[in-house]
Amino acid sequence: MADPEPFGMLPDGRPVRLYRLRSESGVDVSACTYGATITSILAPGRDGTRAHVVLGFDTVTPYLSQTAYLGAVVGRYANRIARARFVLDGVTYQLKPNDGSNLLHGGARGFDKQLWDAEPFTRDRDQGVRFTRVSPAGEEGFPGALQVAIEYVLTAIGALQCSFTAETDNPTVVNLAQHAYFNLSGTATPILDHELTIAASRYTPIGVDMIPTGTIDPVAGTPFDFRTPRRIGDRIDDPHPQLRSGRGYDHNWVLERDTPAVDDGPMTYAATVRDGRSGRRLDVFTTEPGLQFYSGNFLDGSLLGHQGTYVRRAGLCLETQKFPDTPNHPAFPTAIVRPGQRYYARTTFAFSHD
């Protein structure tokens, strides 16, 4: 593993470092200390040609102003919390809204906007980097001081393992997710021709404000049925009220897991994405109960990155997570973490080609 490289500086003069992980399979992963952000993944196709398969930039500067959360770890609470507030143990906590009246991805100064400490390591034939920070009590309105660690491990066979752990000194809610935008074609063309499978028979519908209604509905007979491989563009513009609410896909699928994850616990198969032209394939496994599939509906061509101009739907996100707005829906799998408990989540992104 090479030494960390300079990746630019924050406006206050603090340096940002970049870590490059390399595998024997030809998959390379780069991540920086700003937002614990995955800035690049290079993966070979069926002809051996390597290409960038996540959206990203070559320096930290564009990350400072972009609002798409490209490649970042989002938290303290990934996705949305309605009206930016929740009740825990009888106490109402008012957070800092940053998405109208709601909270999105932890707030205006969430984990994606923080500078993390980092330490690289090797394990046998695998390479990794561990990012750590302490989120102080009251950050963006959340209770409890939270000690957080994120590990990225790139295995020799080209699988990226993302592990998240956290401990708190007071009851709080935690939901961490990796917000990479994938485009397996290696270009910035819309991902409509990508083939997607999601291992879920149910999803959580949303209202016009993108907040879950609280119901859990079947996908059968709807544009949300990806139980068998299907081209993403087949029904993305159907006149379905849920697609209109999200301007495309921006919904949580309910995976076949309803118990909290434990350290080194088993992972569930969640999804597969495949690009037919290049032959590249991504399989996703996770300990988490939900998968947010976001089809890049709000990308608008204002960002220029590795592959070119990031037009609408130039990338897709597969955010493994707790359900959106879980703190306000007692029937959803819990996101509460208490002193003495250890938050744990793990997701593997396995790259291959046919």
Give catalytic residue positions: 179, 319
Question: What residue spans of the chain are helical by DSSP H?
Answer: 61-65, 241-246
Contact assessment for residue 264 and residue 165, using Cβ atoms and an 8 Å cutoff: no
Determine the Cα–Cα distance for residues 220 and 277; give it in Å rounded to an integer: 29
Q: Does residue 118 sit in helix, strand or coil?
A: strand
DSSP string, 141-204: G--S-EEEEEEEEE-TTSEEEEEEEEEESS-EE-B-EE-PPB-TTSSSS-GGG-EEEE--SEEE
CA neighbours closer than 13 Å in the CB half-sphere of residue 305: 33
Of the candidates 353, 345, 37, 25, the one whose C-alpha atom is nearest the C-alpha of residue 161 is 345
Contact assessment for residue 17 and residue 7, using Cβ atoms and an 8 Å cutoff: yes
Q: Which residue's entry shows tokens 């090479």?
A: 2
Contact assessment for residue 336 and residue 173, using Cβ atoms and an 8 Å cutoff: yes
Q: Which residues of 83-98 are buried (b: 16+ CB within 10 A; e: fewer)?
A: bbbbebeeeebebebb
Determine the Cα–Cα distance for residues 184 and 226; give it in Å rounded to an integer: 18
